Amino acid sequence: MKVLLIYPAYPDTFWSFKHALKMIQKKASLPPLGLVTIAAMLPSQWEKKLVDMSCSRLKDADIKWADYVLISAMIVQRESTHQIIARCKALGKKTVAGGPLFTTEPEEFDEIDYLVLNEAEVTLPLFLADLEKGCARHIYTSQERPDITKTPIPTWSLIKMNKYSAMNIQYSRGCPFDCEFCDIVILNGHKPRTKNTEQVLLELDALYDGGWRGSVFFVDDNFIGNKKKLKEEVLPALVRWRKTKRQPPSFFTEASINLADDDDLMRLMVKAGFDRVFIGIETPNEDSLVECNKTQNRNRDLVAAVKKIQNFGMEVQGGFIVGFDNDPSSIFHKQIEFIQKSGIVTAMVGLLNAPRGTRLYERLKKENRIVEGFSGDNTDCSMNFVPKMKTEALIAGYKNILNTIYAPKQYYERIATFLKEFHPHYQIKGYQLKWSHVVGLFRSIWALGVVDKGRKYFWRFILKVLVKRPKVFPLSLILSAYGFHFRKVNDKINRKQGAMVPDN
């Protein structure tokens, strides 16, 4: 049996980091962890080939080679997914699909031969058994939450690691919180399920033995969902593991803001190599936090919490949302003020949308406010519901946030604010300077210091860093490159919307 695994292309969004990745000659931020894990679950005697369309072109010859084509996708990859399906059908190939896009919208993909939905540890073996017997059904689904200690190590040999800026592993699934707009609990449940410590170390060994020396993203829904196990088992083991490696990777992950309440946990995470964490801040408006049931963010000084995490040595990346029913007209100014004051450099601001199956979707459906048009990209000015605020005012206010926080002047001011709070813990051992690093350095300086419209702010900022804090120069250059990417994407949004970007 020959199986082709395809990961559809991502559109050019804030999350793609496409324009920043070009500077370091990378094709994508992360490999398709789901597909390389699925590959490890397939029969070992099957021939397997993987095409990540963010890294390489899908050729007809690839499709013709396969007996079956397996597709996994996120909602934002919908357009590319439909194109892949059409090509497979035209070439007469059987298709198998799973992942968040198909699990949340199965009725939109009747043309797929076999839909293997929900968590693959449960549904994939059922499909494979029926396929072998010649009686495979069109759809496989289950609400069972599998024991992920039985999940195999991904088949990393299917990808070319040098095309990516980071690798990824998964330690846990599920989140203990219940935010109204979030579909994580629909896909993975409320109770955090974790792999055992030995599994985590074996997966890291697989990456390290494969030659990876860069950063590793723990793609958990909420890394700190089970604090006790982290502090007593996993993090101490990671500390020990790093000591055995000549050039250990750094780690980053996603967590909730209550991380700031646990000094011991933060201290251990930093010691274990974590230097970044993404946190859903959402909004500084308390009424909107009540509305969306973001209980972990309520009744706290969010700016102080962010700065505390930064003080411990972790950069905070933040998610923000506008479009809640309780958002006042002042929300746009408040979001800008919060982002600038907190020093959250990578501030991802999006419009509220209601993914299918969420409590928000069901509430808005009862209120007859759901409309078609959820692209999966909450930054492209599309919404799938009728907001309480006038749509024109909401879109205009949203674009004003983006035009302000990504403008060169405000963006470099925010990096400077972050660096005042940030106290990194350098644990780099055996670092080897490669020619690609030198090329990346010069490409970055050319793009930021010569090509970019914010070049005067770049030179003012980076020269000050070189004089006063040279140790954070690499991080400062990376954050500057992110800004270049954000401005490129934001300019595209403004052109699409017919808006003018202010000259800052």
Q: Do 283 and 255 sit in the same domain of this protein?
A: yes
Give the model confidence (pLDDT) of 171-180 as tens digits: 999 999 999 9
Distance CA 394, CA 404 (A): 15
Phi/psi of residue 215, nearest 5 degrees: -85, 160
Q: Do 250 and 335 sit in the same domain of this protein?
A: yes
**Would residue 231 count as lying in a domain?**
yes
Give the model confidence (pLDDT) of 359-398 as tens digits: 999 999 999 999 986 777 878 888 999 999 999 999 999 9
**Would residue 85 count as lying in a domain?**
yes
For Cα atoms 425, 428, 431, give the angle at the middle one, nearest 5 degrees. Answer: 155
Averaged pLDDT, 120-138 = 98
The boundaries of the domain holding residue 46 are 2-140
Q: How many domains does the chain have?
A: 3
Domain-terminating residue out of 376, 403, 430: 403
Reading the block at residue 380, the tokens are: 């492209």
**Would residue 408 count as lying in a domain?**
no
Q: Do 428 and 361 sit in the same domain of this protein?
A: no
Averaged pLDDT, 420-433 = 66
Q: Do 359 and 436 sit in the same domain of this protein?
A: no
**pTM here?**
0.94
For Cα atoms 21, 350, 306, give the angle at the middle one, nearest 5 degrees. Answer: 80
Q: How far is CA 189 from CA 23, 178, 268, 361, 472, in A?
A: 39, 10, 27, 17, 39
The alpha carbon of 194 is separated from its chain's Cα centroid by a whole number of angstroms, namely: 19
Residue 497: pLDDT over 70: no
**Would residue 363 count as lying in a domain?**
yes
Give the model confidence (pLDDT) of 271-315 as tens digits: 999 999 999 999 999 999 999 999 999 999 999 999 999 999 999
Give the model confidence (pLDDT) of 240-280 as tens digits: 999 999 999 999 999 999 999 999 999 999 999 999 999 99
Distance CA 179, CA 182 (A): 6
Residue 278's closest CA among 258, 256, 296? 256
Provide the pLDDT for residue 428.
Answer: 46
**Would residue 414 count as lying in a domain?**
no
Q: Do 131 and 164 sit in the same domain of this protein?
A: no
